[in-house]
């Protein structure tokens, strides 16, 4: 497959997920608003209707239904059920591990792709994006096939006492798969924009690889890294399809928060489902606020190089 | 931007080795396991699994609901992107931030809340019910949640292109005697088509594989409202692993074809956008 011809050589392909928002600084020039007033009013009204109906109304509905029976009932729904408590605990365990794995990978991949030229670099960049095009259900399925007790690897692991499927390791793997590209694709353009000059200078002054990373590369890319971690974490905590398939849906054992929401919904326990959903919604809103706060820092000019006058 | 020499900076071997190792362990080998499992079927068995009436009904439903949702998102996205870039109005920043909510909101939450809003007794469903419009538990419900999950894509692909669009180009068109409609058709439209198509393809690809939000609002009935991802899960629950893998291979082939199209479209957008 001639994928390498399909993407630009820079390796910094525009991410479809977090695009820096060019509209945030306001309309560019006043005369651009010279459309007739009725066009303006109609389009603004339509936009408010679209975003309000598609996004605003569901957000309001989540909190309305969660809090419909008062704060006491809300708190009871969240904390009284041991299966719900375990789901919160499991999500808080699984997501950070998956994010951590992808951070280590993202840093390694970004360093190699942004700083060096080598054969297969373009293909590597394309392959990193691959998980975004795979259905979450398929992402879960591949791990079921790999680790099912009837498969070669799963059989061997079972004989040696390792349970991957229907257990936290499977949840971590499926989550790591669906959130795979987030950190790497944020860091590659950030590292490319900073350029290697400072690192080369430090190297020529005798810095070790370790010093280079902790004192120059990491501080320079910290906002990009934080941005990637936040997006990766939001997806990791909210992932449904992939973990649904590998979890085996064992209540109190392998249900994460989103899976628990679905189970409560199936049990017609709608208030509890919305209660837990409201926690996930809050997480999403916090993520978006953090995103809005970090984005301006990503567009800041990189700090001046060491050797500049 | 050129790369540096492998001797000038450390970490090339270690970084590349770890990148390739992790990519293989988490993505490539598992995907190969799926292809390997599907290949364990004979060609006749593969066709029976991946191309049964039920499977074909599921692909058809997945394809048309995702395409319909993506098309609706092109219309909605163009309006929203246009308004956000060109006009100042109260709460513009908030509206702009809200566009990203579908990317951050867990799909299970989206499915739960949409199923409840559009159920016959829901906030919106109660007004649609007397009109004879059924959304929840039908294929229209599937389109609706896919519109939600794919909403940010067209807005975010069109927005930067609109913002970068040379105002002078429009002015020049006006000076040369073009009326508003001509300026729109001749100047704006050709510039907006590549990003709009990219957004369409991204929303389409997202919708094709979507699972979490759909199972809440669809009745998931075989032949009627069962999308391909739901069929894979039912095959898995019957422990028909090879059949599930065969359907997954078809779905993967569609996704990868779309990925290639998206890459081409993005190159086209970059050429047009300058």
Under-50 pLDDT residues of chain A: 1-26, 28-31, 33, 305-309
Alpha carbon A108 to chain centroid, angstroms: 18
Does residue B34 sit in the same domain as residue B56? no
Q: Which of A98, A81, A110, A285 is nearest to A174 (CA)?
A: A98
Predicted local distance difference test score (pLDDT) of residue A303: 53
For residues B201 and B74, give the distance between their C-alpha atoms in angstroms, rounded to a whole number.
10
Q: Is the ipTM of this complex over 0.90?
A: yes
Q: Least CB-CB distance to A27: which of B10, B88, B252? A: B88
Residues A268-271: contacts with CB within 8 Å, 24+ apart?
A270/A65, A270/B116, A271/A65, A271/A66, A271/A68, A271/A69, A271/A73, A271/A77
Q: Which of A26, A40, A24, A32 is nearest to B168 (CA)?
A: A32
For residues A4 and A239, give the distance between their C-alpha atoms in angstroms, rounded to a whole number.
30
Higher-confidence residue: B240 or A155? B240
Does residue B32 sit in the same domain as residue B167? no
- Between CA B143 and CA B211, with CA B147 as vertex, the angle to 5 degrees is 65
For residues B193 and B188, give the distance between their C-alpha atoms in angstroms, rounded to a whole number.
9
Which of B7, B30, B218 to substitute to test the interface with A, most A CBs within 10 Å?
Answer: B30
B233-B235-B239-B240 Cα dihedral, nearest 10 degrees: -140
Higher-confidence residue: B40 or B176? B40
Predicted local distance difference test score (pLDDT) of residue B104: 95
Predicted local distance difference test score (pLDDT) of residue B164: 84
The domain containing residue B194 runs over which residues? 42-273
Does residue B31 sit in the same domain as residue B133? no
Give contacts of A135 with chain B, Cβ < 8 Å.
208-211, 228-229, 248, 251-252, 255
pLDDT mean over B176-180: 72
Does residue B61 sit in the same domain as residue B31? no
Give the pLDDT confidence of B217-235 residue by residue, as tens digits. Answer: 999 999 999 999 999 999 9
Does residue B62 sit in the same domain as residue B103? yes
DSSP character at residue B211: -
B182-B183-B187-B192 Cα dihedral, nearest 10 degrees: -90
Does residue B32 sit in the same domain as residue B80? no
Backbone angles phi, psi at B94, to 5 degrees: -65, -45
How many structural domains are present in chain B?
2
Does residue B125 sit in the same domain as residue B22? no
Predicted local distance difference test score (pLDDT) of residue B273: 54
**8 Å CB contact of B85 and A291:** no
Burial track A58-72 (b if 16+ CB lie within 10 A, e otherwise): bbebbbebbeeeeee
Q: Least CB-CB distance to A128: which of B12, B23, B113? A: B23
Give contacts of B22 with chain A, Cβ < 8 Å.
101, 104-105, 108
Does residue B136 sit in the same domain as residue B15? no
**In chain A, where are the structural domains located?**
31-66, 82-298
**8 Å CB contact of B104 and A280:** no
Predicted local distance difference test score (pLDDT) of residue A151: 76
Of chain A, the end-to-end C-alpha distance in Å amounts to 48
Token pair of B204, please?
A: 């389409």
CB pairs under 8 A between A and B: 335
For residues A257 and A89, give the distance between their C-alpha atoms in angstroms, rounded to a whole number.
9
Distance from CA of A84 to the nearest CA of B (A): 15
For residues B109 and B107, give the distance between their C-alpha atoms in angstroms, rounded to a whole number.
5
For the packed helices B107-118 and A257-266, what is the interaxial angle rounded to 10 degrees? 20
Higher-confidence residue: A20 or B201? B201
Residues in chain A: 309
Quick one: closest CA in B to A57, which residue? B117
Does residue B71 sit in the same domain as residue B18? no
Give contacts of A173 with chain B, Cβ < 8 Å.
26, 30
pLDDT mean over B245-274: 87
Token pair of B34, please?
A: 């799926």
For residues B160 and B157, give the distance between their C-alpha atoms in angstroms, rounded to a whole number.
7
The architecture in CATH of the region A82-298 reads Orthogonal Bundle (1.10)
- Between CA B170 and CA B174, with CA B155 as vertex, the angle to 5 degrees is 10
Q: State whether residue A30 is helix, strand or coil.
A: helix
Does residue B265 sit in the same domain as residue B133? yes
Residues in chain B: 274
Residue pair A214/A220 in contact (Cβ under 8 Å)? The answer is no
Q: Which of B121, B137, B123, B195 is nearest to B164 (CA)?
A: B195
Q: Least CB-CB distance to A138: which of B113, B212, B251? A: B251
Does residue B24 sit in the same domain as residue B51? no
Give the pLDDT confidence of B51-104 residue by residue, as tens digits. Answer: 999 999 999 999 999 999 999 999 999 999 999 998 999 999 999 999 999 999
Query: What does the H/E/C string look like for B71-127?
Result: HHHHHHHHHHHHHHHHCCCCCHHHHHHHCCHHHHCCHHHHHHHHHHHHCCCCCCHHH
Q: State whether residue A239 is helix, strand or coil.
A: coil
Distance from CA of A162 to the nearest CA of B (A): 17
Asked if pLDDT for residue B243 goes beyond 90, the answer is yes
Which of A3, A112, A270 to substitute to test the interface with B, most B CBs within 10 Å?
Answer: A112
Does residue B26 sit in the same domain as residue B52? no
């Amino acid at each position: 497959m001639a994928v390498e011809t399909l993407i630009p050589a820079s390796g910094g392909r525009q991410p479809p997920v977090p695009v820096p928002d060019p509209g945030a600084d306001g309309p560019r020039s006043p005369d651009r608003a010279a459309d007739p007033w009725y066009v303006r009013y109609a389009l603004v009204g339509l936009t408010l209707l679209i975003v309000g109906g598609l996004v605003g109304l569901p957000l309001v509905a989540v909190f309305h239904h969660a809090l419909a029976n008062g704060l006491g009932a809300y708190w009871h729904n969240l904390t009284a059920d041991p299966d719900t408590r375990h789901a919160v605990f499991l999500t808080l365990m699984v997501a950070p591990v998956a994010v951590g794995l992808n951070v280590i990978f993202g840093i390694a991949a970004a360093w190699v792709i942004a700083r060096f030229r080598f054969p297969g670099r373009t293909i590597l960049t394309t392959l990193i994006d691959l998980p975004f095009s795979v259905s979450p259900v398929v992402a879960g399925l591949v791990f079921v096939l790999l680790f099912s007790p009837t498969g070669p690897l799963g059989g061997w692991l079972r004989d040696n006492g390792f349970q991957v499927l229907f257990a936290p390791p499977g949840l971590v793997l499926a989550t790591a798969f669906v959130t795979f590209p987030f950190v790497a694709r944020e860091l590659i353009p950030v590292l490319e924009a900073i350029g290697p000059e400072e690192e080369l200078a430090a190297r020529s002054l005798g810095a070790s690889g370790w010093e280079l990373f902790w004192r120059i590369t990491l501080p320079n890319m910290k906002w990009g890294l934080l941005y990637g971690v936040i997006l990766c974490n939001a997806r990791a905590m909210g992932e449904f399809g992939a973990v649904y398939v590998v979890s085996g849906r064992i209540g109190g054992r392998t249900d994460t928060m989103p899976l628990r929401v679905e189970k409560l919904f199936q049990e017609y326990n709608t208030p509890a489902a919305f209660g837990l959903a409201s926690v996930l919604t809050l997480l999403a809103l916090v993520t978006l606020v953090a995103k809005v706060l970090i984005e301006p820092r990503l567009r800041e000019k990189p700090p001046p190089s060491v050797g500049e006058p | 931007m050129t790369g540096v020499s492998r001797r000038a900076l450390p970490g090339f071997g270690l970084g590349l080795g770890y990148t390739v190792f992790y990519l293989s362990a988490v993505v490539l080998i598992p995907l190969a396991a799926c292809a390997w499992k599907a290949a364990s079927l004979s060609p006749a068995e593969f066709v029976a699994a991946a191309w049964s009436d039920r499977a074909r009904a599921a692909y058809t439903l997945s394809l048309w609901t995702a395409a319909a949702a993506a098309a609706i998102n092109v219309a909605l996205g163009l309006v929203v992107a246009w308004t956000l870039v060109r006009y100042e109005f109260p709460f513009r920043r908030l509206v702009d931030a809200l566009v990203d909510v579908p990317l951050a909101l867990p799909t299970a939450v989206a499915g739960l809340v949409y199923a409840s809003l559009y159920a016959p007794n829901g906030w919106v469903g109660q007004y649609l019910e007397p009109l004879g419009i059924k959304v929840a538990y039908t294929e229209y419900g599937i389109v609706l949640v896919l519109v939600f999950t794919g909403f940010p894509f067209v807005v975010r692909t069109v927005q930067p292109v609109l913002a970068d669009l040379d105002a002078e180009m429009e002015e020049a068109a006006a000076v040369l005697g073009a009326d508003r409609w001509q300026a729109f058709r001749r100047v704006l439209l050709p510039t907006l088509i590549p990003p709009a198509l990219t957004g369409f393809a991204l929303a389409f690809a997202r919708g094709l594989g979507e699972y979490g939000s759909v199972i809440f609002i669809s009745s998931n009935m075989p032949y009627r409202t069962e999308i391909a991802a739901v069929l894979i899960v039912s095959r898995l629950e019957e422990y028909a692993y090879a059949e599930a893998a065969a359907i997954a291979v078809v779905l993967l082939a569609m996704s990868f074809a779309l990925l290639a199209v998206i890459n081409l479209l993005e190159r086209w957008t970059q050429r047009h956008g300058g």
